[in-house]
Amino acid sequence: MPEIWFPNLGIEIEHLNRVAFTVFGKEVYWYGVFIGSGVLLGLLLAMHEAKRTGQIPDDYLDFALYALVFSIIGARLYYVIFSWDTYSGNFIKIFAIREGGLAIYGGVIGGVLTALVYSKRKKMNFWQLADTAAPSLVLGQALGRWGNFFNREAFGDFTNNLFAMRYQLSQVRLGDISENTLSQLQVANGVEYIQVHPTFLYEFLWNVGLLILLVFISRRKKFHGQIAGLYFLGYGLGRVWIEGLRTDQLTLGGFAVSQVFSAVLIVAAAAFLIWKGRQTKIAHEIEGTEAPLEESKKKDE
């Protein structure tokens, strides 16, 4: 029987190992491979964009080294803080990252704080740095979701829609499964399956669409911060509804933390884009130009 099954699409995956390969007896998981690939491809994309816009590509190599470290710290802290009951009795487990427990929003917060400090020390425009890095960030997030697929995690409640996905019950953490899903177990040839929303896939597709949009608009942006603002707005819009489908949410006071954070992000990003857009429009009217930022620079040169 297949380990993973998309019954309404007719797709069956007989075997899917969490482990990609071993190095000196240590197992390297597909999750790490996808994260690493996302970092590498994201860095190449950012360096390409830096070169295209007249920046120094090596600045982004240095930035990536710092951002990677502090993003991992931020992602872990975010997860630990909102899962404190799990770690309060065993502090050593806080450092057991190989057991899982990284939250994307924590990583984003760590990356933003790193960018603020780095841009100030390097005397770079923070918003230009953020615009350059935003497409790379969403690319890494898109690839990282496939790590969730291999780990059999980050899925939703029961569904029978076109993309409904089945995992073997024995291969999934019971704590991630809702009572509703357990009450509707699917049995095939004696094997029990949960049938759920593949939220990892929803977010992957959403992020790919957002990536294409950001790359397209980056050639036509009107002000520094526009791409970063659109990233936060677009990612928040996707995450706020996808998070509502998941059954492994981090919660505080009965509310899904990432869903609330997404809602706040949407409002803040929209307000920033409107405010900055109006400021830019006024400046263009004074200067008598409405050309995209890069074209305006070329004219000035």
- Binding site feature residues: 145
* Cα 13–chain centre separation: 25
Task: Name the nearest CA neighbour of 240 among 136, 232, 277.
Answer: 232
Q: What is the dihedral of CA 139, 144, 149, 155, to 10 degrees?
A: -90
The SS3 of residue 11 is strand
Output the CA angle 160-164-169, nearest 5 degrees.
100
Indicate the DSSP class of residue 158: B
135 touches 211 (CB < 8 A): yes
Q: 207's torsion region: left (phi>0), alpha (psi -120 to 50) or beta? A: alpha
Indicate the DSSP class of residue 170: G
Strand 165-168 versus strand 191-196 pairing type = antiparallel
